[in-house]
């Protein structure tokens, strides 16, 4: 995994030239504050005081799938506004950061008042992506996810060990006459539970670039549109 902050002047995240946009998803932008949700959960439901490390140890011992946190910039919990751009197996996930990458001690409002760019987003490029899904569950029903109780945590980027989804995808593709089992060995199952949706994908790896621009320009650029 590689994290590349954008330079203050000159240069940008170069992704080459891609064919026209094929898939674009935008999660609902919610203005709901999540502080109380994290502490108490929705509709008065008290989130269980689970022990993710113990859950992972038990799952690993029994050969079950389990989720483990990974090093990826943390998104804004209340309104990450995740955008998904997918062009065949080239996948970009864009979301608002919890803190301004260049000024982590300041809020985004403070940066804007000081004359800096209020935008601070992560562009996560998933490499050689085999499959994606984005939608339910949101954080109100994340405890209904199959990985809840198996190390899955709210609002944390994670990777799934012993993934049954990868096994399912490989089984589907095994009917191909050129099927090669070794081509599936490097694939990883990533899961990112946001506030209003959950993103999951199976890919070989990912790279992260931090940008200080709005979503429209980024999406136009990443989909191969000319820069203006």
User: In the chain, where are the structural domains located?
Assistant: 2-6+20-39+50-222
Under 8 Å between Cβ of 132 and 84:
yes
Average pLDDT value for the chain? 80
pLDDT digit string (tens) for 1-14?
655 544 433 333 33
pTM for this one?
0.77
**pLDDT the model gives residue 42:** 45
**pLDDT the model gives residue 102:** 63
> Would you put residue 84 in left (φ > 0), alpha (ψ -120 to 50) or beta?
beta
HSE value, Cβ hemisphere, 13 Å, CA-based, for 82: 26
Question: What span, in angstroms and rounded, lies between the C-alpha atoms of 4 and 49?
Answer: 36
201 closest CA partner among 155, 160, 146, 148? 160
Q: In which band, very low, low, confident or very high, does the pLDDT at 85 lie, cut at 50, 70 and 90?
A: very high
- Beta-carbon contacts of 136 under 8 Å, excluding residues fewer than 6 positions away, are 197, 198
Percent of the chain with pLDDT over 90: 58
Among 3-17, 21-35, 151-165, 179-193, name the one with the lowest average pLDDT.
Answer: 3-17
211 pLDDT more than 80: yes
29 pLDDT more than 50: no
């Amino acid at each position: 995994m590689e994290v590349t902050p954008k330079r203050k002047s000159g240069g940008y995240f170069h992704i080459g030239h891609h064919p026209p946009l094929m898939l674009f998803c935008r999660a609902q932008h919610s203005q709901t504050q999540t502080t109380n949700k994290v502490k108490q959960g929705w509709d008065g439901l008290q989130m269980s005081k689970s022990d993710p490390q113990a859950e992972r140890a038990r799952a690993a011992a029994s050969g079950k799938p389990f989720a483990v946190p990974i090093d990826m910039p943390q998104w804004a919990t209340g309104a990450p506004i995740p955008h998904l751009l997918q062009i065949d197996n080239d996948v970009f996930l864009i979301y608002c950061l919890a803190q301004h990458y260049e000024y982590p001690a300041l809020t985004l409002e403070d940066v804007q008042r000081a004359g800096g760019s209020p935008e601070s987003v992560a562009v996560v490029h998933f490499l050689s992506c085999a499959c994606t899904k984005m939608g339910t569950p949101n954080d109100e029903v994340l405890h209904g996810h199959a990985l809840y109780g198996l190390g899955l945590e709210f609002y944390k980027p994670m990777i799934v060990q012993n993934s049954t989804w990868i096994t399912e995808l490989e089984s589907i593709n095994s009917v191909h006459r050129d099927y090669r089992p070794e081509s599936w060995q490097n694939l990883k199952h990533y899961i990112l539970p946001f506030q209003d949706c959950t993103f999951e994908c199976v890919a070989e790896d990912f790279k992260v670039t931090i940008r200080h621009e709005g979503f429209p320009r980024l999406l136009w650029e990443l989909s191969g549109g000319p820069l203006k």
